[in-house]
Amino acid sequence: MTKRRPRSLGLLALPAILTLTTLGAPGPATAHDAGATADRHHGAQRPNIVYILADDFGWTSLSSPRTNDGNPSDYYETPALERIAREGVAFDNAYTSVNCTPTRAALLTGLYAPRPENNIYLVGNLNRGGDDTLLYGPPQGREDGATALPAEAVTVGERLQDAGYTTGYVGKFHVTRTGEDITALHGFDENLGGTNAGDPGAYHASDGQFGPKIGPALDAFAGDYTQEYVDENIRPYSHGVDPAALDALVGTDKHVTDALADATIDFVDRNSEDPFFAFLSSYAVHTPVGERQARADLLAKYQAAEPGSGPSNPSYGALAEGLDQAVARVVDHLETTPDPRNPGHTLAENTVLVFTGDNGGVERFTDNGPLRGQKGELREGGIRVPLIAWSANPELVDGDRVDHTPVYAADHHATIASLAGARPPAGQPLDGVDLSGLFADPDARLRRDALYWHLPGYLVDATRDQRPQSVIRSGRWKLVYSYEDRSWELYDLRRDIGEAETLAAERPDVVRELGNDLIRWLDDLDAPLATLREGREPVEFTVTGTTYADGEATRRRDETLVIRPGEELPLVLETPRRH
């Protein structure tokens, strides 16, 4: 195969397929026209933005039916999320990447993984399948192997700083070399707890300190529970818990989820004179999950509860409801705090709050059904998550709606920047699309041809078997290409949300059309592929059709290819033979 073309850091052209239209409007507006969208929806008064990202919080981890096509948990209770899903706009086709770091990289940069300003596909590395796999994944992240954003990547934090916002990051970051880089390189004025770690290590403070995986700035909120704290910050948001169990918290170690809510509210109070962007990145409900990690009052509640129809883990339930209480506290604070920029109004009337997760749930703790798969996989259960937009201002979020539009994590960057009226970043493309019109206007429609995923490596363990694949979702169709056996799977998600039956043989026309779109996308982004592992026998096959490898799409007619160790095993889209 030929040598890969150099990967440019400049603007890579993609077809102009992303538009947002309002039914009855004179014509479509470009989806990336952030300033126009922002001005149209809320005039000169730039809204505050609170973005809450849950960790490993799957499609059905909450008790609201609105984000999951009527498939809520019947064991885990999340009344605050139920409320904002009812009052706001709930999305039931919201997508992410397969696990923590690629989703965070996408939403912070607004870019798909193959972009050089991103280049993060998987936590750790792309060879989490042992030494006997057929293929070997390419390097990801930075030159030294760190799965960290490059300094030149323009994050949503940087764009909001340029627009005059005060930006604060609270909690897990996971796509940086050091916690210091969050403020030095990635656009946040404050970092309260973020480091390069992917989990908290332990959920409770010890001797008034978190860590070592949690940044030291959060220790200001790590003091033991007091009676005043319990009465003001836990009791009002508690449901079905023995009051004595709440009183028993006094004098015990602070839970990090409560500390993150404390830090977020403190940041809001200190910065409400100007527009602010508060990013609350929860550690819950990531492992470790166990009785020692749960807050005692909530653990007792779930230990006493009847199991539900799906996984019913009391420790996980305590973490999930603890996160829900943090959401309730933030929403309540916005609703009861006067807005110094808008006398006579509360902060909630000029704030957009977004809640979502970073990937699908882990099956031993939560039931992603009827979706197939879990965290770490490109099945629907691995990449679909809850997404809710909420505001007390109907001009910002016209609520009590479920939106079925397929949306992706990179869209959150474009949406937040649009709400802030931020200018596009110079020299950096944007793959995400502004969703603020969908928040504000029930008649708005997002016109986008497809969403794409590319994972040129392995995540294989006791419960997962994710191998190199590329995926396109367009309308009702999801097309999956597997590089090891050069096979295609086609699913009609409208009728088969559980991906039970591939229709690739019955609908070759759809495979051909979407396969060509997938090849064009890979070619436009110069996406790297996995290579044949050293020591393997060459792979030989004959192709009539189109291949993609080494940064090029090539049409071939009855051509025999020989792939040797160290060379990329291509995507192959055969042309049907005429009889």
Give catalytic residue positions: 100, 174
* Residue whose C-alpha is closest to residue 94's, from 564, 345, 565, 409: 409
Beta-carbon count within 10 A of 304 CB: 11
155, two tokens: 């994050």
Please name the residue that has the structure tokens 């992706």. Answer: 408
Amino acid at the residue 88? G
Q: How far apart are CA 31 and CA 18, in angstroms?
A: 6
* Phi, psi angle pair for 331, to nearest 5°: -60, -45
Element housing 267 (H / E): helix 256-271
Phi, psi dihedrals of residue 264, rounded to the nearest 5°: -65, -45
Looking at the DSSP assignment, which residues form a beta bridge with residue 462?
A: none
Name which of 517, 522, 491 is nearest 504 in CA terms: 491
- Give dist(CA 150, CA 482) in Å, integer: 29
Q: Report the amino acid identity of residue 188.
A: F
Q: Which two tokens stand for residue 273?
A: 């004179």
Residue with tokens 């995986």: 213
**Cα–Cα distance for residue pair 277/267, rounded to 1 Å:** 10
The answer to whether the CB of 149 falls within 8 A of the CB of 242 is no
CB 318 within 8 A of CB 294: yes
Give the three-class secondary structure for 402.
strand
CB contact set of 532 (below 8 Å; sequence gap of 6+)? 134, 135, 136, 538, 539, 563, 564, 565, 566, 567, 568, 569
Q: Two tokens at 225?
A: 């529970």
d(CA 136, CA 139): 10
Give yes or no for a contact between 117 and 150, defined as CB atoms under 8 angstroms apart: yes
